[in-house]
Amino acid sequence: MVKGLVPTMGALHAGHASLITAAAKECDQVIVSIFVNPLQFNDREDLAKYPRTPERDQELALAAGATDVWFPTYEEIYPAEIKLIDAGPIGELYEGAARPGHFAGVLTVVQRLFDLVKPDRAYFGEKDFQQLFLIKKFTSGVEIVGLPTIRESDGLAMSSRNARLSPEDRSAATIIHRALKSGTLDLSSEPRFKKDYAVVIDEETFEVAKSDTKQKRALIAGTIGGVRLIDNMVIA
């Protein structure tokens, strides 16, 4: 029996559903975990504001193909002293620089979920590309499956954070996708968006891409209306 795991923090949307559906096609058992991990929040206010919709999440997960929806408690995940996994130099770049300790928290909770569930495969979206890169780098014994970002009709990457955007900020946020799609990473036409970084990297090393880099990916992150948004796209 092939066991699949889709780790989430809840507030599920169509992007999560696509991961669950993909897992259901490849696995006999699909477990969706829903746990808001405090270790990956360096901002307590951000943690407090994170949306929690457990009943809706369970309904969506089961409809998408989950066989089990698991809401672990903090004590189940962290029953004893927490030993954080050091994310290394790449974990200090980009999202890691903006959110110190974030990737240590991510890697630690993912490893705990793997220890408890013992999946054969685990499914993650490419929207959090640095996260996916690090999980692949630090994982052994579990096949990590990365799947394409699911987008709204206007190109905005689906995210649990989008619900916190005002209508005006939601409209302005489409500058991210436009900048990625154009390949220029030019965000200057939208003053509402406060850029953190916009860079093209080598997918295999996470170093800044060079002219002869074969696999390039553009990363953009910033805030709009106080809500942090990230996105990325392969660059031809």
Q: Is 16 a catalytic residue?
A: yes
CA distances to 65, 124, 197 from 231, rounded to whole Å, are: 26, 14, 11
User: What's the rounded Cα separation, in Å, for the pair 203 and 215?
Assistant: 6
Pairing of strands 227-235, 216-224: antiparallel
Long-range contacts of 67-76 (CB under 8 A, 24+ apart): 67/24, 67/29, 67/30, 67/31, 68/29, 68/30, 68/31, 68/32, 69/31, 69/32, 69/34, 70/31, 70/32, 70/33, 70/34, 70/117, 71/33, 71/34, 71/35, 72/33, 72/35, 72/116, 74/38, 76/116
Single-letter residue type at 17:
A
Residue with token string 């058992």: 29
CA distances to 89, 94, 172 from 137, rounded to whole Å, are: 12, 17, 35
Residues annotated as catalytic (active site), given as ranges = 16
